[in-house]
Amino acid sequence: MSLKQKYKKAEDNNNKLSNLRPLPEETLKSLKAYYRVGLTYSSNALEGNSLTESETKIVIEDGLTINGKPLRDIYEAVGHAKAYDYLWELAVNKLLKEEDILLLHRFFYEMIDSDQAGIYRKIPVFISGGEFPVTPADKIKQEMKNFVKWFNQSENQLQPVEFAALVHKKFVFIHPFIDGNGRLARLLMNLALIRNEYSVALIPSILRPEYIRSLELAHTNDEPFKEFIADRAIETQKDLLRLFKKTSKEIDSAGGEKLGGVNSGKFSGAGVERHGGVNCEEFGGADVGRHGGVNCEEFGGVGVERHGGVNCEEFSGADVGRHGDIIREEFGGVNYEEFGGAGIGGLDDSNPLPGMIFELIQTSPGLNAPKIAENCGIGLRTAQRYLKLLADNGQIEFIGAPKIGGYCPKTEKII
């Protein structure tokens, strides 16, 4: 399968996951906790942390230490879980800031070395087994400014899985901190996926040789690394789809009640061990691979819904979509020429959103993007992405000034 085909497969899987919405509130909570453990375990294991996944769960959920385990391993687990929690606060419709990355590192590294937490390194470092040098200490500040600028400019121009891989690559090549750069790179990679309504992607420790080899090769050819990350994203989605499918079948055979295809009781209190996405473990009666996660969260007790991944968050009353192009703050409407259009599905029968949006525009012409998103019950970015798709397809056009105009069905002009 070519890289382009893998991106298409990831997009198709993402559309299937979007059809599972809305999920029960308890399911959302338990899935977030489930992958909080999974991502913390797998990312730390790649760096040699000795905690098993069961031990990781005990440390970050129960607040207990593990007899005979190094304190640093405990601190890494607790710190990574805190950074994971903060990751969701960054998954909002706003530009990424350099301070966000510094704080993300502070959350992870505070218990290990508070003097170095959230501080760019001031000394040179060398990567064992690596042929290529990382950014010199005196150039880190500027390189990180460039990285953040690139992130914000490229987020809506690149296919989401490709963008996530490049985020990882660019950050880890800078290597801005004294320690924890690999874990920060994987957190930022998953932030890129979450902000585009994709599931998180876990890298199991058993794949470490392939992971490191493709990352080192990315200095001269990043296609193998892009393929590696695409594979991890696809496995995440496949495991999640299998999980929901098997759970749904079990409910059908038991005569139970379906809640969006999922019985929330199946997911609560799962104290299972996952082995980096390789072995399948029992999770509430469902055999699933531990390759990834789901971008469906609840914040501050608010039941939330994500369109384009599985669910989309609501922050302070603002419905924020993760699967489209960013709207410029000064526009009440949307000039679709402002947007790049990478990585979206076509107008096919499997995805009802384009048809729903087009029908709304036909019956109520002149609506701007926020109103369309509100009427369709979808996120703003999701609406923007499909509006661009419909416009590119010649079905709609934006008429009027950006602040006061709206979308209308496109009609042929008689000359």
Catalytic (active-site) positions: 175
Confidence of residue 388 (pLDDT cuts 50, 70, 90): confident
Q: What is the enclosing helix (H) or strand (E) of 397?
A: strand 396-399
Give residue 26's pLDDT.
86
* Backbone region of residue 158 per phi and psi (left: phi > 0; alpha: psi in -120 to 50; beta: other values): beta
Q: Mean pLDDT over residues 72-93, rounded? A: 94
Return the structure tokens found at 121: 């390194």
Checking if the pLDDT of 405 tops 80, the result is: no
Confidence of residue 32 (pLDDT cuts 50, 70, 90): confident
Contact 319, 312 (CB under 8 A): yes
pTM for the full predicted model: 0.65
Q: Mean pLDDT over residues 355-383, rounded? A: 84
Q: Mean pLDDT over residues 161-180, rounded? A: 98
Residues whose CB is less than 8 angstroms from the CB of residue 56 and which lie 6 or more positions away in sequence, other chains included: 37, 40, 41, 44, 77
pLDDT digits (tens, 9 = 90+) for 96-155: 999 999 999 999 999 999 999 999 999 999 888 788 999 999 999 999 999 999 999 999
Return the structure tokens found at 219: 């200095």
pLDDT digits (tens, 9 = 90+) for 183-231: 999 999 999 999 998 989 999 999 999 999 999 999 999 999 999 999 9
Neighbours of 269 (CB within 10 A): 8
Domains of the chain: 3-259+268-288 (1.10.3290.10), 324-409 (1.10.10.10)
Confidence of residue 289 (pLDDT cuts 50, 70, 90): very low
Checking if the pLDDT of 394 tops 80, the result is: yes
- Residue found by looking up tokens 């608010």 in the block: 302
Give residue 410's pLDDT.
85
Checking if the pLDDT of 256 tops 50, the result is: no
Least confident of 11-25, 52-66, 244-258, 263-277: 263-277
Return the structure tokens found at 329: 């703050």
Checking if the pLDDT of 376 tops 90, the result is: no
Q: Mean pLDDT over residues 8-34, rounded? A: 86
Give residue 227's pLDDT.
98
Give residue 252's pLDDT.
57
Long-range interactions of 112-117: CB distance < 8 A, separation 24+:
112/72, 112/75, 112/76, 112/79, 112/179, 112/180, 113/178, 113/179, 116/177, 116/178, 116/179
Q: Mean pLDDT over residues 7-29, rounded? A: 87
Give residue 6's pLDDT.
97
The overall average pLDDT reported for the chain is: 78
CA–CA separation, 51 vs 61, rounded Å? 14
Amino acid at residue number 233: A
User: Of 323, 8, 402, which Cα lies nearest the Cα of 155?
Assistant: 323
Return the structure tokens found at 66: 């593990």
Q: Is 408 exposed, middle or buried (0-12, 13-18, 19+ CB in 10 A)?
A: middle
Percent of the residues in the chain that have a pLDDT greater than 70, as a whole number? 73
Give residue 296's pLDDT.
35
Residue 3 phi, psi dihedral angles, 5° rounding: -60, -40
Strands 286-288 and 406-409: unpaired
Q: What is the enclosing helix (H) or strand (E) of 321?
A: none
Residues whose CB is less than 8 angstroms from the CB of residue 309 and which lie 6 or more positions away in sequence, other chains included: 14, 17, 18, 194, 197, 198, 199, 294, 295, 296, 322, 323
Confidence of residue 350 (pLDDT cuts 50, 70, 90): low
33 or 170: which carries more pLDDT confidence?
170
Give residue 404's pLDDT.
66
CA–CA separation, 151 vs 136, rounded Å? 21
Q: Mean pLDDT over residues 374-386, rounded? A: 80
Contact 361, 336 (CB under 8 A): no
Q: Mean pLDDT over residues 356-362, rounded? A: 89
Amino acid at residue number 411: T
